[in-house]
Structure 1
Amino acid sequence: MFVIIYFAAIGVLSTDGCYIAEPTGRAAEFSIRVARNKVVEAGLCAVIPCAFTYPHSLVQDPYKRVWFKGDPLNPTVEIPYSEPGEIALQPNERSCSIVINDLVEGENDGEYGFKLEWGAHQTYIFPERVRVSVTALSKKPSLHIPRLMVGQPVTLSCEAPGRCSGATPDITWELNGLPQRATPGNIMTSTGEVTYFSEMLFIPKAKHHNTSVTCRVLFKGNVTTEITRTLTVNYRPRILSSSGCAVQQGITTCICISEGVPLPVIDWNMPEAKTGKNSVMMAESSHTMIKSTIILPSSNTPITKAVCVSKNAVGVRMMTMETDKQ
């Protein structure tokens, strides 16, 4: 919430620490509209919207807008004004908004004030103070992973939290704990906000399914945040060489083992077989693998081959299995 404070100017501070008396009254009023408290996370920035008015009869152009921390006469830090455009101004107001970048816990916490400087070393210090509290960084990077298909190159992108124009963060990648090459970049808006990101070219393989990718962001002051995601790599089914058919004592048993992502389904094409109530079909599966078994009793019609058809949303595989007569 913003508060508006009117303060009757009873004097202006000169360089020797003395106040120069000025007439009071509405024409001599200063006012400031600013939040009293600002809670921000380490590594990011504090955007403090602010607007002020001043008596034109007293303050001469050009004047200088300065934010300070601590004692206004002996500040621990002074921050020159830079217009971030974060507040809607009334016709008689001027902006005093400020952005404090690269925040560090214990270093940037404290009270900040605003003052005007003009003329022959004249200064007006606004009485309002803004309390800035820096907390631990909890925000995570934004990680974008498109649909992954085996053998098809894609670009993974990671965006650092915050829209601050301070020091460029270091963004790194890991795939299963191993460092990866990437290309950094940034986008700046017309209001001065900056989005930092990194892109990694990736060619998925079947072995990458269920592996992890990590994006880690290091801000100034050794402030880090990271995000880890598990990869889902889609690939068409493949039928393992351990699949096949065998005939023992007139009973034909065919086994088809297939893997793929998404998990495939298996159908059998056995035109010579007469499946019925004495036939047995079983299936068992894991996350990426399915095993289908069909058992056919003896018949007068010999079964010479069986076709296993494995399919998922990506594609279809077929294997023709010859039976061994015994």
Structure 2
Amino acid sequence: YICCKMLVLIWAALLFSANSATGRASKSVTAEAGLCAVIPCSFTHPDTFKPKHAIWFECGLTCSYVIRSIFSSNNQNVLARYKKRVALLDSDWAMTKNCSIIINDLTEQDTGSYMFRVTDGRSGLTYNFETKVNVTALSQKPTVTSPQLTEGQQTTLTCTAPGHCSGSPPEIIWKWRGTGETSSHVVSNTSTETVVSQKYSSTLTFTPSAKHHGIKVACWVSFLSRFTTEETVTLVLIAPFFMFALRGKIHAVFIGSNGMGSEGEALTLTCSADSHPPSLITWMKLHSEEYLQNGTETATLVIPNVTAEHSGQYICTARHLNTTLTASASVTVMCEYMAPICLDNCNIYGIWHVPQFNSLFKLYLRHTEAFRMFPFDWTCRFRTIRNRVM
């Protein structure tokens, strides 16, 4: 008898385990009026149980899924004030066992506890966890984004309502007020509303002028015509400006817009424009149509190993809005002349190294007869030119 009784108890325990069901949800959720609340939820069920209908119901004085349902997947017995406001987040909830819901268009009345139940069409399982939803006053503000404002250039302000909800679209109104002026609504046809990824936003497009500087622009958002919030920004207008500069150097030899450098050195020319909006800068050589360098705000032309052929005038052009300015840099590259070892009487003539033209000119005057007597080639660094008699 005792043996049989123990077998019955073991069988009952195994049967209970095979038909056990568990569920899990957040104990409490806090959300703001006019927005939405998401209740995360998951559940399990016995293998023999086939979920068919999901039911969420509220708990007041009593918890009854018959008379206090806020959501039912078969749309039966749902309280009128919750219809079209509550939805499962996962349409394939029976397979994924995801019973999470979203409650949109929250009001203070939605504060309370909620429970979940699932049925197979004939019987059902009620999960004994409760989730408390606390609805607080609306405190979140809309987000207003504004690019840099430039006089005469069309711009767009964007106002994004708070929340990531899929409920009733909020009303979004733009208002602006100058110094000492009362608020005025922006003309409605300058504002458009869109919903992207459950975000509601409105844009305001206009062309700033000097009168807009310092004006306060407010974005006013209303949910359910009851819960309102707003954000205000002050417009700061940046007038177009344009300052043009030209800098150049060949190491320490070529400085400023005019100067001389020697072959083999590096040429660096920098042209810049401090402007708003940014300017387009280009470098070209005079009588050439080839762009040597270009950039925005600054363009630096670098020639690492100059030769005499790089001498000439270089033109920098800066284009800003409807204004075009040019500056030029005159580059003179001088040869560093060297005389090879002379053919005769080397102790007298030796090797001459003349870094600048004026020195070479004087040398010619001093040694004219010698050059006539000993004509030879003079080397300009790595290039060779024929000796000239002055």
Q: Shorter-chain TM-score: what band? A: 0.5 to 0.7
Other-structure match for 2:10: none
Instruction: Determine which of 70, 75, 81 is the counterpart of 1:78.
Output: 70
Other-structure match for 2:22: 31
Unaligned runs of 5+ in 1: 1-21, 189-193, 238-261, 263-312, 317-326
Amino acid at match of 1:100: I
Amino acid at match of 1:179: H
Please list the CA deviations of residues 210-256 of structure 1 after superposition, one character each: whole Å capped at 9, or x if unmatched: 1100001111261111100111011148xxxxxxxxxxxxxxxxxxx
Preserved CA contact (<8 Å) 1:102 1:221 = no
Other-structure match for 1:47: 38
Residue 99 (str. 1) matches residue 91 (str. 2)? no
Amino acid at match of 1:65: A
User: Structure 1: which 4+ aligned runs deviate by more than 4 Å?
Assistant: 313-316
How does 1:257-296 map onto structure 2 within 5 Å? none
Distance 2:14 2:64 in 1: 23
Other-structure match for 2:221: 217
C-alpha deviation, 1:124, in angstroms: 2.0
Per the alignment, do residues 130 and 73 of structure 1 end up closer, same or farther by CA in structure 2, a change over 3 Å counting? same
Indicate the structure whose relative CO is greater, using CA pairs within 8 Å and at least 6 residues apart: 1
Distance 1:186 1:217 in 2: 14
Preserved CA contact (<8 Å) 2:53 2:121 = no
Amino acid at match of 2:140: K
How does 1:303-322 map onto structure 2 within 5 Å? none
C-alpha deviation, 1:55, in angstroms: 1.0
* Bigger CA radius of gyration: 2
Preserved CA contact (<8 Å) 2:42 2:100 = yes
Per the alignment, do residues 314 and 147 of structure 1 end up closer, same or farther by CA in structure 2, a change over 3 Å counting? farther
TM-score (norm: length of structure 2):
0.49
Distance 1:95 1:41 in 2: 24
Amino acid at match of 1:112: Y
Task: Tell me how large the CA RMSD over aligned residues is.
Answer: 2.9
Preserved CA contact (<8 Å) 1:53 1:93 = no
| SS of aligned partner of 2:117 | strand
| SS of aligned partner of 2:164 | coil
Please list the CA deviations of residues 135-166 of structure 1 after superposition, one character each: whole Å capped at 9, or x if unmatched: 01111101011110111111111001111011
Instruction: Determine which of 192, 196, 199 is the counterpart of 1:183.
Output: 192
Instruction: Determine which of 205, 211, 215 is the counterpart of 2:209.
Output: 205
Amino acid at match of 2:101: I
C-alpha deviation, 1:117, in angstroms: 2.1
Name the structure with the higher strand share: 1
C-alpha deviation, 1:23, in angstroms: 8.5
Please list the CA deviations of residues 32-91 of structure 1 after superposition, one character each: whole Å capped at 9, or x if unmatched: 11111111111111111111001132x235x111111122244434213544259xx9xx
Distance 2:96 2:22 in 1: 9
Unaligned runs of 5+ in 2: 1-12, 74-86, 178-182, 242-275, 277-319, 324-390
Distance 1:99 1:213 in 2: 33
Other-structure match for 2:132: 131
C-alpha deviation, 1:119, in angstroms: 2.4
Distance 2:100 2:42 in 1: 7
Per the alignment, do residues 76 and 119 of structure 1 end up closer, same or farther by CA in structure 2, a change over 3 Å counting? closer
Amino acid at match of 1:134: V
Distance 1:195 1:203 in 2: 26
Preserved CA contact (<8 Å) 2:215 2:234 = yes
Amino acid at match of 2:38: V
TM-score (norm: length of structure 1):
0.59
C-alpha deviation, 1:25, in angstroms: 1.9
Instruction: Determine which of 96, 114, 117 is the counterpart of 1:115.
Output: 117
Identical-residue share of aligned pairs (%) = 35
